[in-house]
Amino acid sequence: MITVEAHLARVLAAVEPLTRRETLPLADAAGRTLAVDLVSHLDVPPFDNSAMDGYAVRRADLRGASPEAPVTLDVVADLPAGAAEDPAIRRGQAVRIMTGAPVPSGADAVVAVEATDGGVERVRIEVEPLAGRHIRRAGEDARRGTAVLTAGTVLAPRHLAAAAAAGHAVLDVVARPRVAVAATGSELVEPGEPLAHGSIPDSNSTLLAALVADAGAEVVAAARLHDEPDDVRAWLDRLPDCDLVICSGGVSVGDHDVVRAVLGTTGEVVFEQVAMQPGRPQAFGALADGTPVFGLPGNPVAVHVSFEMFARPAILRLLGRRAPTPVPLVVGAGWRSPAGRVQVMPVAVTTQVASLVAVPAYPGGSASHLVTGLAAADGFAVVPADVTEVAVGQTVPVLLAAR
Amino acid sequence: MITVEAHLARVLAAVEPLTRRETLPLADAAGRTLAVDLVSHLDVPPFDNSAMDGYAVRRADLRGASPEAPVTLDVVADLPAGAAEDPAIRRGQAVRIMTGAPVPSGADAVVAVEATDGGVERVRIEVEPLAGRHIRRAGEDARRGTAVLTAGTVLAPRHLAAAAAAGHAVLDVVARPRVAVAATGSELVEPGEPLAHGSIPDSNSTLLAALVADAGAEVVAAARLHDEPDDVRAWLDRLPDCDLVICSGGVSVGDHDVVRAVLGTTGEVVFEQVAMQPGRPQAFGALADGTPVFGLPGNPVAVHVSFEMFARPAILRLLGRRAPTPVPLVVGAGWRSPAGRVQVMPVAVTTQVASLVAVPAYPGGSASHLVTGLAAADGFAVVPADVTEVAVGQTVPVLLAAR
């Protein structure tokens, strides 16, 4: 039996970040992984601009101004947002200015309209502004040439907005890893089709394909395969170019364990007992052409858990990203954990006054076949191998699942 | 000035859950919102099946079996996964069975292969199994006719797997809300295009479109509009059918506040000062045809914050979903908050030993124009109106942002 850490280390050592890139318009880049550090093309904002609707002024004209001693200035220009002018402001003059409009170079403060009579030709001002008041300085958000986003960022709406503001219309993103998935098992039939005795709907194909897409990869092939070595060999032989292959089922030691029968003889795929519950039998290695291949166990909960612990980190590494760190959450209902194995427990996450709280997602614990119960999970608690009891009130690391 | 709660209540009262539905194959349903409670078509699992590779036995034959007193049985059948047979088991007989295969109706326990000699024609067994040992009972995961998923569930991979296991090939999901977005402002130019003095790249169009998609809606129109009332009117007149319109900018009281100029005269759109920072000026109401319309303020941080506080809840309501509950997080670095206004502070979320910790995402606090700093945020702390100081170590509610 090897540890979870040792198996993961072997997986990550066999997978290299992709060098393939795509250049996408901002509108198509949401959810993709930025391939390079993104440097601002501009000062952001590009010019000093007004934070308020009001008047650009010279402070020297407003010394001592107050409600009791207002000062009246001539309004010599009117700058809406988008104005390109830089009107001169002489002694005793002001420029009417809207939020976002460029502050005239001769002004050293903006007075908000609320502190004036709002005049159009002449304006009465009742305050003496501080230097630079209501002026947003060029470059105060980001300087031209500085990095605003780092390589590896998963592009959320806010990142796309930052890229736009920094003058970028397109982004270089990492290509989606090309991943093939197969669920093996002669008992599996298309969901929704009639079931003979002994047959069950194939939920693993759906689960694997959706998890692969959720991790940011492209599903280039998906199959349901009988426990016939020739079927599995034929599928592998016909695969399009891909970066990773993930199979479920057939990795144990039974006569009909087809993935072991096909891949276990090549010497390039190692079949292990991993000290994890669920998901003990694990296969990982390479096909003849060098493509990394996972053989995950066949029970749906074990598939999901194995994906989170080993396959998702591999896909994220292909994308140049790190695997997510588990989040420490408070335990809201205790459970038992096997000695000597890392338990990966589906948990539901609820919000309480002081913290997020994790409770087992369904009765039956981490039993690996409870696929509908799995739907109630918000994440997976990763219970260390030397822990046998998880008590209410302690904290436990949780991998939050796809929302 | 009205409260955040009052403005949100007005918004939600004006938006009804959509009744439009789509029926999608499982593979296309990820991320969509389930429209109905999903009832299992099957017992899950559909039949008693073996949890182990081993032998189906009659316990009466194995009374007192132990390593010292093994019992040998005749192996009368071999059941791989997917087998449809139900072989009879008579006294002194066993059936070889693989994981997932149907347990013969005459058997009352399964002995794991590890507790036997693994024989093919005869098997030596060294244990007396408990009743039902290693048998997964039909329906123990879910009973036919019981709900396995509830209406409103956002379909993650694990939910699709549960639906497949429950015998569903397609799912009824809520149609994507059709949303039109526009960024107003004569200073705005296409990102990446050359900038005249006074002009800035339009990040709001990108931000709004990406946020709308992130919330599960479809962007049916997106525009950048000058501060010209005729342009805004023409855009509104040409809109395709939609469920919601979201504009940014032009909602203040200046001469060039174009959204106010166009929508403020209809009587169907209310312009408010909301006790929130950033994002005080807010417009909400209905177009002439009754379509709900938001006028958000124009600064990018205020756009994002206003979207999270008001527009995302509206879109989620169209989808029949509730707005997410803020998560209480520990404060890792303190900040100031204005009295009398709810502050919505972009925060970066980090993991520490005992808890998730929230710290301001960038210097400059919740200033509403710092769009590149916004990229560093993982969420938004919602600081109540009566709080003026957020101290290290206290907890603060945080809306976690799109990942």
- The ipTM of this complex is 0.89
Question: Sorting pLDDT into bands at 50, 70 and 90, what band is A403?
Answer: very low
What are chain A's domains?
A: 4-18+176-318 (3.40.980.10), 25-41+149-174 (no CATH), 49-136 (2.170.190.11), 327-400 (2.40.340.10)
Candidate from B82, B165, B351 with C-beta closest to A201: B165
Q: Do A160 and B206 touch (CB under 8 A)?
A: yes
Residue A83 exposure: Cα atoms within 13 Å on the Cβ side:
22
The predicted pLDDT at position A402 comes to 46
Q: What's the one-letter identity of residue B142?
A: A
CB contact set of A48 (below 8 Å; sequence gap of 6+):
A102, A103, A135, A136, A137, A138
Q: Do A372 and B162 touch (CB under 8 A)?
A: yes
Q: Which of A156-165, A182-191, B164-173 shows the lowest per-residue confidence on average (mean pLDDT)? A: A156-165
Percent of chain A with pLDDT over 90: 70
More confident: A183 or A400? A183
Nearest CA in chain A to B45: A200
For range A318-338, the mean pLDDT = 80
**Measuring CA to CA, which residue among B122, B96, B99, B117 is closest to residue B107?**
B96
Q: Do B327 and A356 touch (CB under 8 A)?
A: yes
The 3-state DSSP class for residue B81 equals: coil
Taking every pair of Cα atoms in chain B, the longest distance, rounded to a whole number of angstroms, is: 97
Residue A272 distance to chain B (closest CA, Å): 17
Candidate from B27, B51, B81 with C-beta closest to A187: B81
**Beta bridge partner(s), residue B154:** B33
Candidate from B154, B161, B207 with C-beta closest to A160: B207
The predicted pLDDT at position B403 comes to 42
B64 touches A at CB < 8 Å: no
List the single best residue of B26, B187, B307 to mutate versus A (max A Cβ within 10 A).
B187
Question: Sorting pLDDT into bands at 50, 70 and 90, what band is A3?
Answer: very high
Chains A and B: how many Cβ contacts under 8 Å? Answer: 329
Q: How far is CA B341 from CA B129, B347, B372, in A?
A: 67, 18, 24
The label of the residue with tokens 């009973």 reads B143
Candidate from A167, A191, A354 with C-beta closest to B201: A167
Q: Are A102 and A122 in contact (CB under 8 A)?
A: no
The CA distance from B208 to B295, in Å, is 12
Q: Are B269 and B236 in contact (CB under 8 A)?
A: no
Q: How far is CA A77 from CA A29, A59, A60, A71, A94, in A?
A: 42, 17, 19, 18, 8
Q: Do A157 and B99 touch (CB under 8 A)?
A: no
The predicted pLDDT at position B345 comes to 81
Chain A residues closer than 8 Å to B374 by CB: 158, 161-162
Residue A201 DSSP label: E
Question: Sorting pLDDT into bands at 50, 70 and 90, what band is A152?
Answer: very high
Candidate from B47, B81, B148 with C-beta closest to A372: B148
Q: Helical H runs in B74-228?
A: 157-165, 204-214
> Would the pLDDT of A90 be above 80?
yes
The label of the residue with tokens 């093996």 reads A184
Q: Which of A148-162, A333-347, B38-52, B60-74 shows the lowest per-residue confidence on average (mean pLDDT)? A: A333-347
Q: Do B401 and A156 touch (CB under 8 A)?
A: yes
- Chain A residues 134-173 with a CB less than 8 Å from chain B: 136, 140-142, 148-149, 153-154, 156-170
B265 touches A at CB < 8 Å: no
The predicted pLDDT at position A365 comes to 61
Question: Sorting pLDDT into bands at 50, 70 and 90, what band is A373?
Answer: low
The predicted pLDDT at position B325 comes to 74
Residue B308 DSSP label: I
**Measuring CA to CA, which residue among A324, A21, A29, A49 is closest to residue A162?**
A29
Residue A328 distance to chain B (closest CA, Å): 5
CB contact set of B393 (below 8 Å; sequence gap of 6+):
B330, B331
The 3-state DSSP class for residue A86 equals: coil
Residue A376 distance to chain B (closest CA, Å): 8
Question: Sorting pLDDT into bands at 50, 70 and 90, what band is A121?
Answer: very high
Q: Do A159 and B327 touch (CB under 8 A)?
A: no
Angle between helices A204-214 and B157-165 (to 10 degrees): 170
Candidate from A190, A198, A327 with C-beta closest to B356: A327
The CA distance from B287 to B294, in Å, is 10
Candidate from B158, B254, B369 with C-beta closest to A141: B369
B226 touches A at CB < 8 Å: yes
The pLDDT tens digits of the residues spanning A260-287 come to 999 988 779 999 999 988 899 999 999 9
The CA distance from A92 to A57, in Å, is 9
For range A50-54, the mean pLDDT = 92
**Measuring CA to CA, which residue among A223, A228, A186 is closest to residue A206?**
A223
State chain A's mean pLDDT as an integer. 89
Residue A353 distance to chain B (closest CA, Å): 7
**Measuring CA to CA, which residue among A77, A78, A362, A34 is closest to residue A173?**
A34
The CA distance from B276 to B382, in Å, is 10
A120 touches B at CB < 8 Å: no
CA dihedral B45, B47, B52, B54 (to 10 degrees): -170
The predicted pLDDT at position B343 comes to 82
Q: What's the one-letter identity of residue B278?
A: P
The CA distance from A218 to A173, in Å, is 14
The pLDDT tens digits of the residues spanning B311-354 come to 999 999 999 998 877 777 777 777 778 888 888 888 777 665 55
B252 touches A at CB < 8 Å: yes
**Beta bridge partner(s), residue A91:** none
Residue A34 DSSP label: B
What are the tokens at B94? Answer: 């066993």
For range B166-180, the mean pLDDT = 97
Chain A residues closer than 8 Å to B308 by CB: none
**Cis peptide leading into B278, omega within 30 of 0?**
yes
More confident: A335 or A146? A146
B375 touches A at CB < 8 Å: yes
Region of A152 (left: φ > 0; alpha: ψ -120 to 50; beta: rest) is: left
Residue A268 DSSP label: S
The CA distance from A189 to B151, in Å, is 26
Candidate from B45, B98, B356 with C-beta closest to A254: B98
> Would the pLDDT of A17 be above 70?
yes
Taking every pair of Cα atoms in chain A, the longest distance, rounded to a whole number of angstroms, is: 98
Chain A residues closer than 8 Å to B185 by CB: 81-82, 100
The predicted pLDDT at position B303 comes to 93
The CA distance from A33 to A216, in Å, is 8
The predicted pLDDT at position B102 comes to 96
Q: Is the dihedral of CA B387, B390, B393, B398 positive or negative?
A: positive
The pLDDT tens digits of the residues spanning B222-260 come to 999 999 999 999 999 999 999 999 999 998 877 778 999
Calculate the CA B185 to chain-centre distance.
33
Nearest CA in chain A to B215: A157
Residue A128 distance to chain B (closest CA, Å): 22
For range A177-199, the mean pLDDT = 96
For range B292-298, the mean pLDDT = 96
Q: What is the DSSP string of A299-345?
A: SHHHHHHHIIIIIHHHHHHHTT-PPPPPEEEEESS-EE--TTSEEEE
Percent of chain B with pLDDT over 70: 92
Nearest CA in chain B to A47: B198
B99 touches A at CB < 8 Å: yes
> Would the pLDDT of A374 be above 70?
no
Q: Which of A60-64, A213-217, B154-158, B349-353 shows the lowest per-residue confidence on average (mean pLDDT)? A: B349-353
Q: Which of A196-210, A279-293, A342-356, B100-114 shows the lowest per-residue confidence on average (mean pLDDT)? A: A342-356
- Chain A residues 278-297 with a CB less than 8 Å from chain B: none
The predicted pLDDT at position A349 comes to 74
The predicted pLDDT at position A400 comes to 66
Q: Are A167 and A148 in contact (CB under 8 A)?
A: no
B398 touches A at CB < 8 Å: no
Q: Are B181 and B205 in contact (CB under 8 A)?
A: yes
Question: Sorting pLDDT into bands at 50, 70 and 90, what band is A366?
Answer: low
**What pairing do the DSSP bridges indicate for beta strands B244-248 and B292-296?**
parallel
The pLDDT tens digits of the residues spanning B371-402 come to 666 666 677 677 777 777 777 777 777 766 54
